[in-house]
Amino acid sequence: MSMGWMRMRAFAVAGLACAVAAGCAVNPVTGRRELALVSEAQEIQLGQQSAQEVAQQIGLVDDAALQQYVDGVGQRLARASERPNLPWRFQVVDDPTPNAFALPGGFIFVTRGMMDLMDSEAELAAVLGHEIGHVTARHSVSQISRGQLAQLGLGIGSIFFPEAAQTFGGLAQTGVQLLFLRYGRDAERQSDELGFRYALSEGYEVREMDDVFASLLRTGEAAGRSELPSWLSTHPAEPERIAAARARADTVTRAPLQTGRDAYLARIDGLTYGDDPRQGFFRDGVFLHPELRFRIDFPQGWRTQNLPQAVNALAPQQDAALQLTLAQGANADDAARRFFSQQGIRPGQGGRQNVNGNPAVVAYFQAQGQQGVITGTAAFIEHGGRTYQVLAYAPAQRFAQYEPAFRRVIFSFGDVADPSVLNVRPNRVDVVRTTRQMTLAEFNRQNPSVIPLAELAILNQVEGENAVLPAGSWKRVVAQ
């Protein structure tokens, strides 16, 4: 795999005019010949591998009807594109942050948070069309870098300290955001144009694109400028770009165009909104998992991160880390054997333990990190038919200082019986029709949401609580 990415990088550097006959290809969008060190087959293979990692790392929304719907919209747009024969795939990833991104070869992802925020099929088509444009114009092939690839491996087997610290380098930059390829301004403009063309060719109301930008802008403003949704911050919504989108839309004389609002809202009715606590959540420094029915305490003040395949925590001074994962192996002994048989791991003292009634193996280990020797405690704990692995580690010279905290974490692992944890439910979007003309505030009194009014206004793409909603309009409520 790494060889493939090396070639990609070479392509990025050399993606200029094509001077040599060998290794040239016609750009499907511009029709110009350019250097193509990556063949289409390689591009597809790279995209496929990365897409699998995305599905594993972030997870897909478990809703077959919704996935089918999004894929259907995407497929129709892709068929109208310059590369109709790529193995196009459109999927919704289970991430609450509004975002969308394209991988080489036609693997497009839109987040659950983005689905929550949009309110028509035309908006979805605008977003998917834009991402398709990055693939058809080969931006995603030429821009992907080795560093971005390295970050795809986040959370998996990152047992060495410096790598773990890097993982936390910017906590805001985790998950989907890492995967978002940053393209140049010209590439964004080109994708806007291409997306517009694809959406229009399928008869979508192209004026809806503005609403996506507006919603993302409001979300960003509400969160503070530092937390602009990345689809927006990596897709700078400069006034010029929005104006260009409007100008393009104004030239359209074709009518009628479809918004597909009812179809879209019917699909997102009931969709999870915000974080999904069923997948584990933190409460006062305790990690609680309602499905797997366990709890484990993390040290106060540590930065934590709940990923589908790992729960990570980093000390405030960034010199110690903890990682909880499912272990490989039939039981604690087997899991420990596998762990200690890895190259580069030196087992230390340890043995069987009882962790709150759960059979476990707890032992020291040492490993060579990039910046010196790492000392750690590894625990393998059986619980509910599974074995969990807790790795707690620090540079060798700091280990003694952290060891008591590490032991407290490991020996806090136990059952959870609290019904408020076991029965926790995610918030969800409910689509409700207004019975008469009313303000958003009135609507909220009639159909109470569990989120603040300001957030509800953003979700419903209206200015604020005094915005007037026409009778018979579909609006979204966030319920428990």
Burial annotation 194-215 (CB, 10 A radius, 16+ → b, else e)? bbbbbbbebbbbbbbbbbbbeb
Nearest approach in angstroms of CB 239 to Zn ion is 17
391 to 410: interface string for Zn ion, x by CB under 5 A: --------------------
Distance, CA of 455 to CA of 457 (rounded, Å): 5
- Secondary structure of 59-78 in HEC code, one letter for each residue: CECCCHHHHHHHHHHHHHHH
Nearest approach in angstroms of CB 126 to Zn ion is 12
Q: Which of 195, 193, 274, 188 is nearest to 234 (CA)?
A: 188
Nearest approach in angstroms of CB 225 to Zn ion is 20
Q: Report residue 142 as tokens.
A: 């030429």
When the beta carbons of 190 and 312 are compared against Zn ion, the nearer one is 190
Contact 275, 262 (CB under 8 A): no
* Near Zn ion in 50-79, by CB under 5 A: none
| Residue 290: DSSP 8-state | T
Nearest approach in angstroms of CB 130 to Zn ion is 6
SS3 category, 386: strand
Nearest approach in angstroms of CB 212 to Zn ion is 12
| Residue 227: DSSP 8-state | G
Nearest approach in angstroms of CB 36 to Zn ion is 21
* DSSP structure string for 33-50: EEE-SS-HHHHHHHHHHH
Q: How many residues bind Zn ion (CB under 5 A)?
A: 3
When the beta carbons of 229 and 299 are compared against Zn ion, the nearer one is 229
Q: In what order do the strands lie in the sheet with 427-433?
A: 272-273, 427-433, 474-479
When the beta carbons of 139 and 383 are compared against Zn ion, the nearer one is 139
When the beta carbons of 235 and 476 are compared against Zn ion, the nearer one is 235
When the beta carbons of 234 and 353 are compared against Zn ion, the nearer one is 234
167 to 206: interface string for Zn ion, x by CB under 5 A: ---------------------x--x---------------
- CA angle, 287 then 291 then 293, to 5°: 60
* DSSP structure string for 234-289: SS---HHHHHHHHHHHHT----PPB--HHHHHHHHTT-EES--GGG-EEETTEEEE
234 to 263: interface string for Zn ion, x by CB under 5 A: -x----------------------------
When the beta carbons of 82 and 188 are compared against Zn ion, the nearer one is 188
Distance, CA of 343 to CA of 363 (rounded, Å): 17
When the beta carbons of 188 and 276 are compared against Zn ion, the nearer one is 188
220 to 239: interface string for Zn ion, x by CB under 5 A: ---------------x----
Nearest approach in angstroms of CB 306 to Zn ion is 28
When the beta carbons of 133 and 369 are compared against Zn ion, the nearer one is 133
Nearest approach in angstroms of CB 114 to Zn ion is 13
The site for Zn ion (CB under 5 A) is made up of 188, 191, 235
